[in-house]
Chain A
Amino acid sequence: MGAVQLRPAQGYLKMKPERDDYGLVDILDRLLNKGVILNADLIITVAGIPLVGLSLKAALASIETMLDYGMLEAWDRETREWYKKQFEESNVPLMRDEMARYTTFGYIWYSQGMISSWRPGFWYITNKRLLLWRRMPYDTLFEAPLENIGKISVRKMNEFGWEREEINLQFQDEIARIRVSNLVEFEGAIRKAMRDPEIEIARS
C-alpha cells in the first residue's frame, strides 16, 4: 500500500494547512462528536453512549493536564508512528531477486478439521511464486512456486444462495480455491508469469 495523501494542495501556499501530527485530538473530536449519525432506528450504537466513547471523552478532557506534564507529546508521537506504519509499504517477504509483478487483495479457502473459512490477504504474483500474504498478523497464507502450479480453472460456486466465481488452482495434488475481485485479470496474470516470469504485467 502506498502512502495516502489527501488532495495535494496545488501550487505554492503561503500558509499550508498542517496535519503534521496527524492531529490526534482533531481526529478524536471529529469522529466522536461530529459526522453523520444514522437514523435512530437503524443504529445499534452511537459514539458517546458506549464505554469507548466515554473513555475517549475522558481522555480529551484530561489533555490540558497531560500538556502540563509534557505527556501529550509522547502520546502523540506514539500515535503518529502507529499511523505512519499503516501507510508504509508492506514488507511482503520476498526472496532475493524476486520481484512482485501483480498484487491484488483476495482470499483463499482454508479448510482444516472443523475450521473452514475464506482467509483474506494480498495476492502477490512474482517472477518466482504465487503467494497470499497477510500483514497483520504477519503470515504467508499460501505459496506456490510458479513452476509447480498445475491446472488453472474458473468455477462457479454456490454459497449461501449466492453464485460466485472463483479460481481453482492445482498445486501438489490439492486444489487451492482463490477469490479476487478481478478474476480474469488475476488468472491472466498468473498465466503470463508462468509463461515468462520476467515479463512486466500491466494492470487495467
Chain B
Amino acid sequence: MSETAGEGRYIYSVVKADIESNLGDVGIENSNVYLVPNRDIAAVVHSCVAEPYTTHDDEKAKEWVLEHSYVIDCATNRFGTVLPISFDVIVAGDDDVVKDWLEDNYDFLKDELERVKDKAEYSVLIFCDEGQMADRIVSGNPELLKLKENIETMPKGTAYLYRRKFELKTKKELSEQVFKLAKDFSAEIRELVDSIKIEKKVSLVPEKYRGKMLVAALTCLVHHDRVEVLGNLLEEIDKREGLSVRFTGPWAPFSFVQLKDT
C-alpha cells in the first residue's frame, strides 16, 4: 500500500500482541481503535487525518485526554502492561508506516515491554504537618527550648530579634529533618520497587494535603506482587505522627519509558 496523502494514525500505546484485533469505538471522539501488529508487538491506533487535535475549549481537550487514557486502560486490561504514548502523537501515513516504525524500533520496544511486564507505575507523595514537626523539633532540642523560654522574659525589641533567630534556626532544623526523612523513606521504598524516580515538581497537591509540607514525591515502577508490601510500608509511614501519604495508581508506566530519537 502506498502512503495516501493526509492519512494519519493516532497512536495510543504499544502492546505485546501478535494478532490484528479491534478494541471497538473506544477512542478519541468514538474513533474505532485497533491493533497494527508487527511480529509479536502491536501499536494501538485509530485512523485519522494527519492533523493534530487542537482546541481552545478546555473541556473538549480534557475529554480527549481522558479518552486517550481510557484506551490505555482497556489495552492494559487486555494485553498486560503497555508502553503508553503521549497525547496527540500522530504518525503521518497508513498502517504500513506504523508497521515500519514498529519494525525499526522492534528491539527497543520489545525490551521495554519485557522490562515493564507485570509492573505498573505508582505515585507516592509523603506530606508532613509543618507545625507539628516544628514543635517536636523544638521540644527535642535543648538549645531551641532555652531560646524559646528566654524570649518570653526579654524586652520587646530584643525579643523580636531573638524570635527571628529562633524561627530561622527551627526552620533550618526542620528542613534538615525533612531532608533526612525524604532520604530514609526513598531508600526504604527503593528496596521494594523495581525503579524509582524522585520528582522535583508536583503538579497536584490535593485539597486534603493543602497547607502541608511535601517531604517526598516519588514515582515507582512496581511489580504486581510487590504492591502489597509497598502498601504496608506506606501505611506505617502514614501512621507516624505528623505524616500523611498519598498513594495512587496503578498507571501505565509513563514515567519509565523513554524513546530516544534514532
Q: Are A35 and B254 in contact (CB under 8 A)?
A: yes
Known contacts: A42-B101, A52-B54. The answer to whether A29 contacts B204 by CB under 8 A is yes
B37 part of interface (Cβ distance < 8 Å) = no
Q: Which of A16, A19, A47, A181 contacts B86 (CB 8 A)?
A: A47
CB–CB B203/A55 < 8 A: no
Q: Chain A, 24-48, contact with B by CB distance < 8 Å: what is the 0/1 string? A: 1111111111111111101111110
Q: A171 at the A/B interface (Cβ < 8 Å)? A: no
Count chain B residues whose beta carbon lies closer than 8 angstroms to a beta carbon of A.
81
B204 pairs with A15, CB closer than 8 A: no
A204 interface contact, C-beta 8 A? no
Contacts of A28 in B (CB 8 A): 62, 65, 203
Contact with A along B13-35 (1 / 0, CB 8 A): 01000001110111000101000
Q: Smallest distance from the beta carbon of A77 to chain B beta carbons, Å? A: 13
Q: How large is the interface on A (under 10, 10 to 19, 20 to 34, 35 or more residues)?
A: 35 or more
Could you tell me which residues of chain B, from 200 to 219, have a CB within 8 Å of some CB in chain A?
Answer: 203-205, 207, 210
Give the chain B neighbours of A4 by CB distance below 8 A.
70, 73-74, 77
Query: CB within 8 A of B232: which of A14, A44, A60, A161?
Result: A14
Known A19-B249, A35-B84, A45-B52; contact A6-B62, beta-carbon cutoff 8 A: no
Which parts of B33-79 form the interface with A (CB within 8 Å)? Answer: 50-56, 58, 61-70, 73-74, 76-77
Is B101 a contact partner of A39 (Cβ separation < 8 A)? Answer: yes
B90 within 8 A of A: yes
Q: A174 → chain B, closest Cβ, in Å?
A: 25
User: Is B122's CB within 8 Å of the partner chain A?
Assistant: yes
> Chain A contacts of B92 at CB under 8 A?
42, 44
Contact, CB under 8 Å: A36 / B224: no
Against B, the Cβ 8 Å flags (1 = close, 0 = not) of A69-82 are: 00011000001001
A-B contact pairs, 30 of them (CB 8 A): A6-B73, A7-B120, A13-B227, A14-B234, A19-B250, A24-B62, A26-B248, A30-B69, A31-B68, A31-B254, A35-B84, A35-B86, A36-B14, A37-B89, A39-B262, A40-B261, A44-B8, A45-B52, A49-B52, A52-B61, A55-B55, A55-B56, A56-B62, A72-B207, A83-B70, A86-B67, A86-B70, A105-B24, A135-B30, A136-B25
